[in-house]
Structure 1
């Protein structure tokens, strides 16, 4: 077992080796790198042993393909999972090093954007912590998405240079590179893997997150002496194109070049990953791939990796010599698919011509898949051309990636009960009627080890002191807190923990933004990607209405509130950027108005990422989960807030439905149209917002403020939001749900005025959050889809 004295001796030596600096001279970043390097050494043997154990026992392994992974900072997590965090904290303290300052020196990995990437990271954590043989497969983005800054009230995107310093956790495996081939004139690209260890919690299991980086292929020799100007230009264009493949997450799809690069990235990911996996299987288990589906499972996280289906077919037929029928049987029994969206614009489809020119062999295989599938449909539904056209993989000159994913996999799952019902009854209803056995639900989950144990150590300590440490391994044990939910002494301790986290967040905000917040006010939080369907705009309208009431009556008896927003808008998403601008404008107007006696504050926090989420979520009193019912597949932020004792104000959307089932109506505030009512509203055309605007004076006053000069902006800055809200299509029903949302805020006010009821509700939410652990989700995937075992 590692001792404190060994730590105190090892760190200065490693620091000197890495940086040539003493403890006194070194920066926090230098000390972080030294400690992380020592932890790497500690991981190595367990990593080798885990891989050897999987291979020797010929265990079936799952490979989770995702365009995003958002693991957050890894030093604290790795120390915790290795069970050496406390000894290192003590050693560092005796060396005069602040542990928090050191861990904060680590950069967040720029490998994702939002919930999709955070979910993938949670799943990897649970796979390793449950001792399950499962690995991640993604792209090593040089710049990530973007770093968000707010300049003159508006979002500005800057490069996310997360790799400008050495990523201490990755191991470059140049000897395991593969060649990914594209159509002429692009040719081949070398894909080089970078492996990151994924450490299980206190179980000596170390799985792998493999990230692929694009490099100029081997053998690309140049005779510079005979080069002319055109040759130099072509060479530079080729090198630039290769480097662009793994440069940035989600290239801007407003332009043809950006759309093509996205397609290139998606094929690069699946081709590199599958070639590597097949090579490993052949080396360890022999050349016969006829039982591949018994040896591995390939899971595609949303449609971005859907080209894994034709790529696996290509490998099996062209490189392994199998016939179509055998290759198709293997492929469909190996691959499974998770759908993450019901929004039509998010269901990927690619122009036929684009795939034909970029990936000619892959298109041939997709075309054959479509032909055979349509023939099968014709046999079962003769003459039903409408059904066949609606289900075809290729239609209207596009390849429909969700259809390809369904046809080429043995399992299709949604990520919340409501979402899965919508897939089966609406979005993919014909596919469900055709092969109902493929469809199932796997409600998302979060890793309680990061989002409670690491993010909120005070609360984790209180839980352990109250019910023991078993919840760390068995998150359902959190239910043992229920008998304490009404206990006054426990409530007081819970309130003290929450207050400490609020004060810490308030200090962070003051130091960064020079805005003084009242930590005794209600922290009302909506942090997530900025999108119209998530309805940050509805929240902003509610703030405008409350502010106007306070202006008219400064003595209004309300609990002071601090509204906290964070989230990124896609660079090309004009409306979302306008919503950010509105929130920032409201913050300037409200925060500087002394007439309202500091009863309201509004803050938009820049550059939302995992580390910032870990500051915000434990401090939240109220969790705003207000998407239009039927539009959010699941949500995982709602689970993180719940686990940290925040009360949800939400619609019956995504996993909110299951949270309500878990905690009961008295411990959540639900409002608004249901998914069925929303669908009916759209279908019947009865959702004209002008009707609401004309009937409800509160709506009219708030919407008019966008254009009547009430806001401190020049000209018609918010006319686009005004037009959006009043468009006859009904937008995302912000105005239809406005009155219900205000009534929900009245209900949450009543709950928070009743102190015992408030803390009983918070404790109940924590106690019932165990079912939303990703350990439960991954166990369901392992047993029901992948058929892998610890």
Structure 2
């Protein structure tokens, strides 16, 4: 035998023998030795020898790919490790085991997924299509275990294999497909649509990189690449055969066809291919599994062989680079013209692919294009996908040869529009010239839509030019622009806000002329969150305590939490309730220590302010309160004060200078407060980095006080307020967004209210708001701002926070100084209440008990009944188990 043959034989035996002998050698020894050799310190693999960790022979009625028993799950993990990962235990990594388990779970979803799709299409059911630029899903594995109802079985299976389940769950990389509340709402709605057994498809973009990973260096936010796909994504299936061409740029040719009809032919500068990637979205303990279909941009021809052969290597792959950039990054910085163009390309790209896909599904059913709206209801999640109105018209008129009137009838019976903002600057607009350079045909279509629409409006508002200008889709000015919200309003049959106050303000402010024109379109659909992730998964101990008293039915019918009111005065239940809170606080303490090096006291009041960093959300109002408390201690070191831990988390947009300055201020104040011996741990300030779904799941259950202090009239709804209250935190907040409704249901006595109302804010601005006067009138406020300005919190550098201080003193667009005194007074009330442990426990219980309204299941039911007109469809499945 020569050397090469010997080496080949040795390698084959080295690989195969452990597999052949596997049933005689428990996985525990292999796995433990592998981990020890790799010096991985965070494993909690069981060290004891198991008599037999291999799966036993399965019964004939059970399939390793679909069975839900412990043995079937163990068998599936073994099989996937070998057949999918191509590994054996001695060389398998932690990621290999995570992937093996993830594929085992996905296999159990596939059977339900295929059955769902088949039943929807065979039964000709109307399908809800949710168009969203973001889906902040969070990790899939644990959520799917909850929804499949096999969390305990998988926990036992992995335990018998010598693996700690949590150790694998922590390995999952969070999908970088969203940023804030908009994306998280979309994820909650997808969960509820499946749980309520509603046929639905979510459409979006498969971003290669998320918005960014946030690091804190020297107190500043630093953005790093969120390469969430670096280890692969076991939850998605690439549908490469499912792809559509998307045109960009170029020009439009006009001609008269042989039938004498005026036609348009768009000659693009660039053609991009959109490839579908599907992820199953399973409902809670139902068979219904809906589809999240995300589009990846590719070049139709990824490699130019002629250019390469001629030596022009860069040009050979240039088209590939240009096309792939479109789905490269979530929310590229649009401060530059090129960034704006890329953002518009992204929006149009996923909308065009999605509409082409829906039309394809519709036509494959043998239905006429004129009846498209019978089979599909499309929801626009804010203005990002509003270009879908014009794209639908292009497809119907140019590609399917419908007359304009017929195409507009189909379009306006298909789309519904959700508005998520009251900030005028957030109502998306596009410069006309830039828009035309990217979408020349759509510019023509929008002009025609606007012409016909204004002809109707002119008759209805005869002589009122201001109202005509307000309703026009084309905005006039030094440079003309397209108002995407107006396009969405004109082309949709329904318009909704996302909280009662928000909807009322839409009707009276930013969309008041639309409401006057077509009040029948408007309704309110208050946002909600899924209790499966935000209570069952993130707070399992509280879930067990609740279920021990009222059963488990509340998980799908959150209004049943109201039964907890009967236990609100029960001392034993109060003790158990606060015991769970204390355990969750200890877990967060350990996380904070590991992440930031800051040691905090779990007995302190956890004051939690976690959300996107923005001036209107007023993180700087909260830090001014921290400084005021710190100064009280400095003036009187022996003062009695309720120990507090102020926990902040959130990301600032990379180009948002003021928001990044607020992050720096929080960290700078924390550096002083946390290290001052006079404070003696009575105050701690923590900025928890890289806020995302995974981190939120640890923070929400530990919160005592939920900080919801946006300027009244600026927050559309908020969903963090719902998640925190659902986990037993008490809210301190303004009458803004969904705070209004939360206060109504939990009771005024269980909510700490402060600040100006939306009407008072508007009145002060109209009369002429002078923030400097508030600065002069309040000694604590003046001292805090003077300290910031002097460099007290920035190593005597008085330049760092100059822009922030000047903005507060001379502009203060979100009335931070006007609300300071009211906020500090209200915080004193909250601190006093926290000292009465029994009373606080009762208020905490009642907050959770009365949160039934804020389930996303309730929101989706209202959308189904009032807007989409769709019904539930039960998916039947013969599961062998």
Task: Name the structure 2 match of 1:113.
Answer: 179
Aligned position for 1:165: 231
**1:538 alignment partner, one of 613, 621, 626:** 621
Q: 3-state DSSP class of the match of 1:572?
A: coil
Match of 2:527 in 1: 444
Q: 1:15 aligns with which of 81, 84, 90?
A: 81
Structure 2 counterpart SS, 1:596: coil
Match of 1:100 in 2: 166
1:26 maps to what in 2?
92
Mapped to 1, the partners of 2:535 and 2:834 lie a distance apart of 23
Match of 1:475 among 553, 558, 570: 558
Q: Residue 127 of structure 2 is aligned with which of 61, 77, 102?
A: 61
Distance (Å, rounded) in 1 between the aligned partners of 2:442 and 2:377: 21
Pick from 136, 149, 152: which aligns with 1:70? 136
1:145 aligns to 2:211 (yes or no): yes
The structural deviation recorded for 1:233 is 5.3
Relative to structure 1, the CA distance from residue 369 to residue 228 in structure 2 (aligned partners, 3 Å threshold; closer, same or farther) is farther
Q: Which runs of 5+ in 1 are unaligned?
A: none
CA distance in 1, matches of 2:308, 2:388: 42
Partner of 1:722: 805
Contact 1:186 1:238 in 2 (8 A): no
Q: How does 1:234-633 map to 2 (within 5 A)?
A: 234-286=315-367, 288-396=368-476, 397-633=480-716
Q: Judge conservation of contact 1:274–1:312 (CA < 8 Å) in 2.
A: yes
**Contact 1:486-1:760 at 8 Å conserved across structures:** yes
Offset of residue 15 of structure 1: 1.3
Q: Secondary structure at the match of 1:181?
A: strand
CA deviations 1:679-700 (Å, max 9, x no partner) are 1111221x21011011111111
Given that residues 303 and 316 in structure 2 are in contact (C-alpha distance below 8 angstroms), is that contact kept between their aligned partners in structure 1? Answer: no
**Distance in 1 of aligned mates of 2:620 and 2:139:** 31
Question: Residue 196 of structure 1 is aligned with which of 270, 274, 279?
Answer: 279
Aligned residues between the structures: 785
SS at match of 1:504: helix
Residue range with higher mean Cα deviation, 734-743 or 588-597: 588-597
Q: Could you tell me which of 759, 762, 783 is aligned with 1:676?
A: 759
Aligned residue number for residue 183 of structure 1? 249
Distance in 1 between residues matched to 2:73 and 2:429, nearest whole Å: 54
SS in 2 for 1:249: coil
* Partner SS for 2:211: coil
For 1:176, what is the secondary structure of its paired residue? strand
Q: Partners in 2 of 1:236 and 1:221 — Cα distance? A: 7
Show the counterpart of 1:761.
843
1:574-626 Cα shifts (integer Å, max 9, x gaps): 00000000001111111111211110001101110000000100000010000
Residue 825 of structure 2 corresponds to 743
Contact preservation (8 Å) 1:446, 1:636: yes
Secondary structure at the aligned position of 1:300 is classed as strand
Aligned to 2:24: none
| Corresponding position of 2:792 | 710
| 1:787 aligns to 2:852 (yes or no) | no
Confirm or deny: 8 A CA contact 2:304 2:317 kept in the other structure: no
Contact 1:111/1:249 (8 A) holds in 2: yes
Tell me how far 1:224 sits from its aligned partner: 3.1
Q: Does residue 763 of structure 2 align to residue 666 of structure 1?
A: no
Contact 2:302 2:317 in 1 (8 A): no
CA separation of 1:219 and 1:233: change in aligned 2, threshold 3 A: closer
Residue 416 of structure 2 aligns to a residue in which SS?
strand
Whole-angstrom CA distance in 2 between matches of 1:734 and 1:23: 58
Would the aligned equivalents of 1:190 and 1:218 in 2 still touch at CA under 8 Å?
A: no
Q: Which runs of 5+ in 2 are unaligned?
A: 1-66, 251-267, 873-881
Aligned to 1:699: 781
**Once the two structures are superposed, what CA deviation does each residue of 1:68-88 show, in whole Å capped at 9, x if it has no partner?**
001100001111111222111
**Contact 2:308–2:316 (Cα < 8 Å) also in 1:** no
Task: State the secondary structure of the residue aligned to 2:365.
Answer: helix
Aligned partners of 2:521 and 2:561: how far apart in 1? Answer: 33
C-alpha distance in 2 between matches for 1:476 and 1:225: 64
The separation in 2 between residues aligned to 1:386 and 1:7, in whole angstroms, is 66
Whether the aligned pair in 2 keeps the contact of 1:12 and 1:23 (CA below 8 Å) is no
Contact 1:527 1:567 in 2 (8 A): yes
Q: Report the CA distance between 1:218 and its aligned residue.
A: 4.6
CA positional deviation for 1:161: 0.5
Contact in 1 for aligned 2:308/2:315 (Cα 8 Å): no
Q: Distance in 1 between matches of 2:316 and 2:689?
A: 39
- 1:289-312: CA deviation from partner (whole Å, max 9, x where unpaired): 222111100111000000000101
Which residue of 111, 118, 121 corresponds with 1:52?
118
TM-score (normalised: structure 2): 0.88
> 1:2 offset after TM fit, Å?
2.1
Question: How large is the RMSD of aligned CA atoms in angstroms?
Answer: 1.3
Q: What's the offset of the Cα at 1:12?
A: 2.5
Instruction: Please state whether the residue corresponding to 1:135 is helix, strand or coil.
Output: strand
Distance of 2:74 and 2:347 partners within structure 1: 46
Q: Aligned partners of 1:474 and 1:718: how far apart in 2?
A: 49
CA distance in 2, matches of 1:141, 1:205: 26
Partners of 2:649 and 2:688 within 8 A in 1:
yes
> TM-score, normalized by length of structure 1?
0.98
